[in-house]
Amino acid sequence: MANAASGMAVHDDCKLKFQELKAKRSYRFIVFKIEQQQVVIDKIGEPTETYEDFQACLPADECRYAVFDFDFTTAENCQKSKIYFIAWSPEISRVRMKMVYASSKDRFKRELDGIQVELQATDPSEMSLDIVKGRAL
């Protein structure tokens, strides 16, 4: 079903795989792209993959949405996890692409129930591991 505002549909697989990431921790991350007026899965990261693996699969010149299951330890030595939503919009991507991703982001994010932290990045430094850790605590 397309969103009237942006004309964007969300493929059912996106929601199913996100639920598996959230409930079963089946994946470390999921990268989504917009293709033919629909949000679809671009890449899925296995639970053993790292944040660096995740960053490496984001294209340098194209926008993407992503969710990342981030594990961390609190000051009280408790193991915790937070699910991040990352809107990746590199400076050098096409203006039209940036507009489509920006106008569809909130609608898509609403489909993914359980996002705890949102990050928006235009270059890798804006989503460094230090920034992710800082937002987790």
The residue range of the domain holding 33 is 9-135
Q: What DSSP state is assigned to residue 93? A: S
Q: Looking at the domain assignment, is residue 30 inside a domain?
A: yes
Of the two residues 127 and 74, the one the predictor is more confident about is 127
- Return the CATH number at 96: 3.40.20.10
Q: Looking at the domain assignment, is residue 3 inside a domain?
A: no
Per-residue pLDDT at 18: 98
Q: What are the counts of helices (DSSP H) followed by strands (DSSP E) for the chain?
A: 4, 6
pLDDT, mean of residues 48-73: 96
Per-residue pLDDT at 74: 87
Q: Looking at the domain assignment, is residue 119 inside a domain?
A: yes
Q: Looking at the domain assignment, is residue 33 inside a domain?
A: yes
E-strand ranges in the chain read 9-10, 29-35, 38-45, 64-73, 79-88, 117-121
Report whether pLDDT(2) > 80: no
| SS3 of residue 108 by DSSP | helix
Supply φ then ψ for residue 29, to 5 degrees: -155, 160
Q: Looking at the domain assignment, is residue 21 inside a domain?
A: yes
Q: Looking at the domain assignment, is residue 2 inside a domain?
A: no
Task: Give which of 32, 69, 74 is closest to 47, Cα–Cα.
Answer: 69
Helix axes 12-19, 95-111, angle to 10 degrees: 60
Q: Looking at the domain assignment, is residue 69 inside a domain?
A: yes
- Any idea which residue has 């594990």 for tokens? 71
Burial environment of residue 101 by CB neighbours within 10 A (0 to 12, 13 to 18, 19 or more): buried
Q: Looking at the domain assignment, is residue 102 inside a domain?
A: yes
Per-residue pLDDT at 1: 43
| SS3 of residue 130 by DSSP | helix
Per-residue pLDDT at 6: 52
Per-residue pLDDT at 35: 95
Q: How many domains does the chain have?
A: 1
pLDDT tens per residue across span 68-126: 999 999 889 999 999 999 999 999 999 999 999 999 999 999 999 999 999 999 999 99
